[in-house]
Amino acid sequence: MRVSDDTLDEFMALYQAEFRKDISREDALEMAIRLVNLYQLIMRPLSDERSDCATPHSEDRRDSDTSFQAAE
């Protein structure tokens, strides 16, 4: 995986702003690659077999549930 210098600089700046700690370019590159790999893993589509478990069936939905409404 290739991370551009600009992207790495931005990652380092964001890390410093969030954690108040400077990190080396080597550490930043490793962290950025791990973050992208995690994101790709999370965003991977579920297989057909597993996607049935993740999708609520119409009879299981609570259309009349008012316990979670947007604030007006």
Domain boundaries, the chain: 1-43
Q: How far is CA 61 from CA 26, 37, 42, 54, 67, in A?
A: 48, 33, 24, 13, 13
Contacts of 29 (CB under 8 A, 6+ apart): 3, 8
Residue 5 has pLDDT above 90, yes or no: yes
More confident residue, 12 or 70: 12
Structure tokens at 19: 């954690």
* Average pLDDT, integer, range 29-50: 89
pLDDT for residue 68 is more than 50: no
pLDDT score, position 47: 73
